[in-house]
Amino acid sequence: MSDIEIIKTEIEAQIASVQDIKALDDVRVAALGKKGRITELLKTLGGMPVAERIEFGKKINVIKAELEAKIAAKKQELETKLLNEKLKSEVIDVTLPCRPEVQGRIHPVSKVYEELVAIFAEMGFEVAEGPDIEDQFHNFNALNTPPNHPARQMQDTFYINNDVSKEFDLDNAYVVRTQTSSMQIRTMEKKQPPIRIIAPGRTYRSDYDATHTPMFHQIEGLVVDKTTTLAHLKGCLYDVMKAFFEVDELPVRFRPSYFPFTEPSAEMDIGCLKTKNELKIGAGTDWLEILGCGMVHPNVLRACGIDPEEYQGFAFGMGMDRLAMLKYGIPDLRTFFESDVRWLKNYGFTALDFSSMTSGLSNNGGLAR
């Protein structure tokens, strides 16, 4: 074997034996770098007779190309090995259950939200969403509650100073919506009947005690069609409440009430048993007020360009936080918004405990408790 063949074999052996990319690079530099063994050989070409130079030059260039190819192949091999090792070490078993101490919980209000959407969706209602910051037209005026209407005092409104460079202008100020009823207007402005929507969302009033927080959640409902009656309202809400509280029998009553945007108006009570330590829904001789409702006032339809001679409808609104308190036995509303993980661990739900009318609303995945 010629010297050059020996050198080639030696370098090939080095390439074959290296274990990492750094060592491979060292081998490359020692062979093909500026002062590498092969480079040094190439430098000797200059002093050779022409015939020998041609033959030796050819040979050495072939060897150089072969070594380069071998180094490239080895590099590829080492990189693939490295990647595989990395993938192996970083593998995650997505089927493993979450560690309980890091597991998140679904908030009871989110749970009730999902449950109500599941119930209403089954009845053919669409979900409508709208802004928390409202103008007074949508929050009050179009809901048959003009400025100075006494009913405005029923709600402790937060007004927003739209333009701080000017004096506060109460009549034109925006508000953070006091009721999701504003979505009745936004829906009817966009869409002609038949309408069947619910609008769940945040609402705001200046109030704070065990059953009131400045931000709370309501769900609004609106049905408008040519032949919608009070009987539909009663039947619909009766079915919804039975489904929500997951009971077969539920005494209900509708008490006459007043809301500016409905005529006639009513409040719905459900039967319950109140004892010192317990509240049982669906049994006993006590009553619990659960929502406000009524037949949409003709003025409200008119304000949205819907002819009250042709169409009529019903509306209702209820507090989702209150429903969560009643269904899941949570005594103080203020704790809902304290972001205390211990509270959430106790009252929250697991992520897989989703609500559906076919697999069950609250008892399918098991409560976190």
What residues does 287 pair with on adjacent strands?
A: 271
- Please answer whether residues 231 and 293 qualify as being in contact, where contact means their C-beta atoms are separated by less than 8 angstroms: no
Q: How far is CA 266 from the centre of its chain?
A: 34
CB of 305: closest distance to ligand DAH in angstroms? Answer: 19
Amino acid at 291: L
What number of H helices and E strands is found in the chain? 11, 11
| Nearer to ligand DAH among residue 315 and residue 361 (C-beta) | 315
CB of 242: closest distance to ligand DAH in angstroms? Answer: 20
Q: How far is CA 103 from the centre of its chain?
A: 17
What SS3 state is found at 101?
A: helix
| Nearer to ligand DAH among residue 314 and residue 349 (C-beta) | 314
| Nearer to ligand DAH among residue 36 and residue 294 (C-beta) | 294
CB of 178: closest distance to ligand DAH in angstroms? Answer: 7
CB of 119: closest distance to ligand DAH in angstroms? Answer: 17
CA distance 250 to 241: 8
Nearest to 350 by CA among 100, 56, 77: 100
The residues that touch ligand DAH, with contacts defined as CB under 6 A, are 179, 181, 220, 259, 262, 292-294, 315-317
Query: Which residue in this structure is represented by tokens 């032949």?
Result: 227
Q: Which residue is nearest to ligand DAH (CB)?
A: 317
| Nearer to ligand DAH among residue 27 and residue 268 (C-beta) | 268
| Nearer to ligand DAH among residue 71 and residue 301 (C-beta) | 301
How much of the chain is helix, strand and coil, in % rounded to 5?
45, 20, 35
CB of 220: closest distance to ligand DAH in angstroms? Answer: 5
DSSP per position, 176-226 = E-S-TTHHHHHHHHH-PSSEEEEEEEEEE-S--BTTB-SEEEEEEEEEEES
| Nearer to ligand DAH among residue 266 and residue 281 (C-beta) | 266
Q: Could you give the count of Cα atoms lying within 13 Å of 13 in the half-sphere of its Cβ? A: 6
| Nearer to ligand DAH among residue 42 and residue 215 (C-beta) | 215
| Nearer to ligand DAH among residue 67 and residue 236 (C-beta) | 236
CB of 102: closest distance to ligand DAH in angstroms? Answer: 38
CB of 141: closest distance to ligand DAH in angstroms? Answer: 14
Q: Is the peptide bond before 264 cis (omega within 30 degrees of 0)?
A: yes
| Nearer to ligand DAH among residue 260 and residue 348 (C-beta) | 260
Nearest to 64 by CA among 100, 101, 33: 33
* List of residues 6+ apart from 222 with CB closer than 8 A: 183, 184, 187, 188, 195, 196, 197, 198, 199, 296, 313, 314, 315
- Please answer whether residues 211 and 322 qualify as being in contact, where contact means their C-beta atoms are separated by less than 8 angstroms: yes
CB of 87: closest distance to ligand DAH in angstroms? Answer: 56
- Please answer whether residues 319 and 218 qualify as being in contact, where contact means their C-beta atoms are separated by less than 8 angstroms: yes
CB of 316: closest distance to ligand DAH in angstroms? Answer: 5
CA distance 358 to 369: 23
